[in-house]
């Protein structure tokens, strides 16, 4: 009737017709959608954050699971929470896990009430992740346990809830030392959700959405919905699924019926067609939404929403990887799950900032090394247009560390792998599943069969994506059939073997699952430019030539990728520095009884293209020069060498332009041509089995410059035209502090953050590249200090503090809002010999 009336008005009134013509069609559709939506209001499902007002105590409390236990003196906090990041750093802890207290027993307790009117509803609690060995109790009764800290799980509280009365959730967390090879964090470190829903409802992770046929004209969307009827309620049920575009318009609808005669789940398959679909892509990450509405005897009892994208992915040995029919190479990085100074506790804004920094470097893909990611990371990759390899395990049945996942393999690996895929398979950003990284079964006869078993699980849960793994044991992983079992063969640090593997296995698809592993410290330049194993400073030169024995400078992988067109691309180790695994400073010593930590206080990685705070290292610009098209140029090192014994300073340049010209105090030191004027770098790469110790790189330019203070400038040219330039200035003495926030307005939700770069500058505002002044912070108003950092991998200064020393001129202040408190936030940064800096933020 509504459509008919609009059509009549439209044809009767010329003036109205002209006005309607001037409107966008989607405005009309939104109006109609409002009518449809008003007829299908959401049912009784409520999804509520369960993060606030927990009580926490670290230590063994044998009766803390009981409702009668007195927790009135426990610390009050909100989750996500990572107790280990609070420190202190201690040499008695293992530096592989950050020299932080990641092990021990702790309890979280929360008091809450479910209204009496909700009796008869299903009450569940969803943990996005608890690190680790979690046990969940409700009113003194154990309701669930989960040893793997990286995967979420749902707990059914219904049988034990006291409706209208106080209930108590108690969570015991008991992580062990060396449960991983890096910093895992500790505690309820991801979000928690309370759901109140009808006993018959869409199941946990209950929709599976695929787009089997996609063209510019239309896309078929298949929706498989699991209905949970574990409560054994018979009746006549129907399911309506609405497909909704990003502007809120319903673009397709499906209907199904089901009659429950007994206690059982039902899986309903629906298919709809979306006309003129907008495809999810890297530059246009367009998202649709499904709203599943469940009816019983004609009345709405449940609603469930899922986000998805319409896109196609294809892999072949001939064409490589195709996204929406267009060939793309993976310009990827591996990312561990910690958020630098914030630790492992999930934060949406911090995760978003990490991904934005990576994307600005040219990254189009991430590998979630070596575990399932947070839901927030995948949600943000969907929104930002970043592809993802979701990885399940760092080990299988054979462990790598004393208390690794291998302890739980037999009982839990299938459940964990299936849950990971069910949770993540609707994300358009996910383009492959990884079943493992450098697993020891590469060298075992059983490896091939175990891999095939895991691949079968992945294909059962999601036949639309290929399965991969990262192999470092060559050729063992091929000889035992393990590599042949996966769909995509990922090699770690084997750029010289790609061609050989493909010549022997022409049907395989190969890529670099981990590449380079170059190490560096932001702003550190050791002269002469030479390779070394360790430096007394516990820092690593940023000339981007130093790597562990298994690894190599980034230039080698770039060359391998460019000269092997059948490669799918690479995932650099790593995008960000991460806490723990401080290679190359991770030796053992007798004082710590053989534990790792002989190079104390080195406690964080040096692998990142950016440091732990997100400040770019020089290598960030190397990859930007390889992976981006917008004209850029970068030079290194800094230009404060007046106190150095070295007077001839090597100057390196990274650019994606044709040529670059270097100037010192406006005097040209000559032009150089990319690809022709190659730079000799140390190249002790053991798999090449060469006697030479140098390699000529076509990806960087070099001038050797006699130092004099002033301005060093590089100008980049393309087709003879100036396209970009960059300067390094000799800074004067440190004189002042500058505060540079990434956001001046933050949400007053208790989670939003402002990342404030703290610069030590001279009188003219030039950064002082060697400054290490101690900065003190003071905050007034509705915000607080969340963490501080400086990117120095070899310091035991705490992350949770109101002070920080600068490292090579920079440190970071992270400010967090207070929930519900709005207004001006005053920030002051002071130092003994520097001019004070002040900044105002707003929380709203």
Residue 359 φ then ψ, to 5°: -65, -35
H-assigned helices in 96-201:
none
Read off the tokens for 525.
């330049």
Q: If you write DSSP's letter for every residue of 367-395 in order, what string do you get? A: E-TTS---HHHHHHHHHHT-EEEEE--S-
Residue 720 CA neighbour count, 13 Å, CB half: 0
DSSP 3-state of 286: coil
Task: In whole angstroms, give the CA distance from residue 200 to residue 226.
Answer: 11
Local structure of 5: helix, strand or coil? helix
Q: Please enumerate in sequence order all residues whose Cβ is within 8 A of that of 726, keeping only pairs 6 or more positions apart, or say none.
A: 633, 634, 635, 713, 714
Question: What 3-state DSSP class applies to 704?
Answer: strand
| Tokens 């695929």 belong to residue | 210
C-alpha 140/C-alpha 171 separation (Å) is: 11
Residue 528, Cβ neighbours under 10 Å: how many?
Answer: 9
Looking at the annotation, which residues are catalytic? Answer: 438, 514
What's 639's DSSP letter? Answer: S
Going from the C-alpha of 43 to that of each of 167, 293, 296, 712, the distances in angstroms are 25, 8, 11, 66
φ and ψ of 535, to 5 deg:
-130, 145
Strands 711-718 and 721-729: antiparallel
Non-local CB neighbours of 72 within 8 Å, separated by 6+ positions: none
Rounded to whole angstroms, how far apart are CA atoms 664 and 371? 48
Sign of CA dihedral 372, 150, 191, 47: positive
Q: Is 278 helix (H, G, I), strand (E, B) or coil?
A: coil
Token pair belonging to 477 = 């992983």
Supply 95's token pair: 């530096």
Quote the tokens at residue 599: 């190079």
**252, 340, 511, 685, 797 from 271: Cα distances, Å:** 10, 44, 35, 53, 57
What is the token pair recorded at 358?
Answer: 């990576």
The span from the CA of 424 to the CA of 433, in Å, is 10
- Three-state secondary structure call for residue 57: strand
Place of tokens 């991770």: 586
CB 491 within 8 A of CB 471: yes
Running DSSP on this structure, what letter comes out for residue 408? Answer: G
Burial of 162-172, coded b for 16+ CB within 10 Å and e otherwise, reads ebeeebbbbbb
The candidate with the shortest Cα–Cα distance to 583, out of 495, 517, 532, 524, is 517
Cross-strand pairs, 390: 433
The conformation of residue 844, written as its DSSP 8-state character, comes to -
Question: E strands, 614-658, where?
Answer: 633-636, 648-655
CA distance 635 to 622: 10
Cα separation of 513 and 508, whole Å? 15
CB 355 within 8 A of CB 386: yes
Q: What Å distances lie between residue 783 and 60, 256, 527, 844, CA to CA?
A: 33, 50, 44, 11
- Secondary structure letter of residue 200 according to DSSP: S
């Amino acid at each position: 009737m509504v459509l008919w009336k609009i059509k009549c008005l439209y044809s009767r009134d010329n003036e109205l017709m002209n006005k309607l013509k001037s409107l966008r069609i989607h405005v009309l559709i939104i109006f109609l959608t409002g009518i449809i939506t008003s007829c299908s209001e959401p049912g009784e499902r409520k999804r509520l954050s369960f993060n606030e007002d927990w009580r926490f105590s670290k230590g063994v409390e044998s009766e803390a699971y009981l409702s009668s236990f007195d927790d009135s003196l426990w610390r009050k906090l909100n989750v996500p929470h990572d107790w280990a990041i609070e420190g202190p750093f201690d040499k008695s802890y293992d530096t592989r896990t950050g020299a932080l207290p990641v092990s021990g027993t702790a309890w979280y307790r929360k008091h809450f009430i479910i209204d009496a009117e909700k009796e008869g509803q299903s009450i569940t609690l969803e943990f996005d992740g608890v690190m680790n060995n979690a046990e969940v109790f409700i009113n003194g009764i154990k309701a669930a346990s989960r040893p793997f800290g990286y995967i979420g799980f749902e707990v059914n509280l219904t049988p034990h809830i006291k409706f209208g009365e106080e209930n108590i959730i108690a969570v015991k967390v008991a992580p062990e030392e060396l449960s991983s090879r890096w910093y895992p964090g500790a505690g309820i470190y991801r979000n928690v959700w309370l759901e109140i829903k009808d006993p018959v409802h869409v199941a946990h992770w209950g929709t599976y959405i695929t787009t089997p046929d996609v063209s510019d004209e239309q896309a078929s969307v298949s929706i498989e919905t699991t209905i949970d009827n574990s409560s054994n309620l018979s009746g006549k049920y129907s399911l309506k699924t609405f497909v909704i575009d990003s502007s809120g318009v319903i673009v397709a609808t499906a209907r199904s019926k089901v009659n429950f005669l007994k206690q059982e789940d039902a899986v309903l398959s629906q298919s709809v067609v979306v006309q003129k679909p907008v495809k999810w892509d890297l530059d246009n990450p367009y998202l649709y939404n499904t709203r599943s509405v469940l009816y019983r005897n004609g009345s709405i009892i449940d609603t469930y929403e899922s986000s998805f994208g319409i896109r196609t992915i294809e892999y072949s040995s001939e064409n490589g990887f195709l996204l929406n029919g267009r060939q793309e190479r993976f310009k990827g990085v591996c990312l561990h799950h910690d958020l630098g100074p914030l630790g492992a506790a999930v934060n949406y804004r911090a995760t978003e900032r990490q991904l934005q920094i990576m994307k600005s470097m040219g990254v189009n893909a991430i590998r979630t090394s070596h575990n399932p990611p947070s839901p927030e990371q995948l949600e943000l990759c969907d929104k930002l247009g970043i592809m993802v390899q979701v990885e399940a395990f760092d080990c299988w049945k054979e462990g790598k560390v004393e208390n690794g996942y291998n302890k739980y393999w037999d009982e839990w690996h299938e459940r964990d792998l299936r849950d990971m895929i069910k949770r993540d398979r609707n994300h358009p950003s996910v383009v492959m599943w990884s079943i493992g990284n450098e697993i020891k079964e590469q060298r075992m006869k059983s490896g091939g069969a175990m891999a095939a078993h895991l691949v079968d699980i992945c294909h059962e849960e999601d036949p639309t994506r290929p399965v991969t793994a990262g192999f470092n044991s060559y050729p063992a992983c091929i000889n035992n059939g393990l590599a042949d079992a996966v769909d995509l063969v990922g090699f770690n640090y084997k750029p010289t073997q790609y061609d050989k593997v493909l010549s022997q296995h022409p049907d395989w698809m190969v890529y670099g699952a981990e590449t380079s592993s170059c190490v560096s410290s932001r702003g550190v330049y050791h002269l002469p430019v030479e390779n070394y194993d360790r430096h007394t400073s516990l820092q690593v030169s940023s000339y981007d030539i130093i790597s562990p024995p298994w690894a190599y400078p980034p230039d080698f992988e770039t060359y391998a990728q460019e000269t092997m067109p059948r490669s799918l691309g690479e995932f650099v180790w790593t995008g960000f520095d991460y806490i723990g695994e401080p290679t190359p400073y991770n030796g053992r010593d007798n004082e710590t009884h053989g534990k790792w930590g002989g190079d104390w206080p080195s406690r964080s990685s040096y692998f990142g293209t950016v440091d732990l705070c997100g400040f770019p290292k020089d290598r960030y610009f190397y990859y930007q020069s390889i992976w981006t098209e917008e004209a850029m140029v970068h030079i290194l090192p800094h230009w404060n060498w007046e106190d150095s014994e070295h007077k001839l300073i090597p100057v390196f340049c990274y650019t994606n332009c044709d040529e670059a010209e270097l100037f010192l105090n406006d005097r040209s030191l000559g032009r150089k041509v990319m690809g022709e004027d190659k730079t000799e770098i140390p190249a002790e790469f053991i798999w090449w089995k060469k006697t030479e110790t140098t390699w000529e790189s076509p990806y960087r330019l070099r001038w050797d410059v006699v130092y004099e203070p002033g301005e060093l400038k590089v100008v980049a040219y393309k087709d003879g035209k100036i396209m970009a330039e960059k300067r390094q200035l000799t800074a004067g003495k440190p004189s002042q502090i500058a505060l540079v926030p990434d956001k001046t307005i933050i949400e007053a939700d208790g989670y939003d953050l402002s990342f404030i770069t703290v610069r030590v500058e001279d009188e003219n505002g030039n950064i002082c590249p060697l400054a290490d002044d101690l900065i003190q912070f003071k905050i007034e108003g509705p915000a607080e200090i969340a963490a501080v950092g400086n990117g120095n991998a070899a310091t035991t200064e705490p992350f949770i503090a109101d002070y920080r020393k600068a490292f090579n001129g920079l440190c970071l202040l992270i400010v967090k809002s207070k929930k519900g408190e709005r207004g001006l936030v005053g920030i002051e940064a002071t130092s003994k010999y520097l001019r004070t800096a002040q900044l105002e933020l707003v929380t709203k």
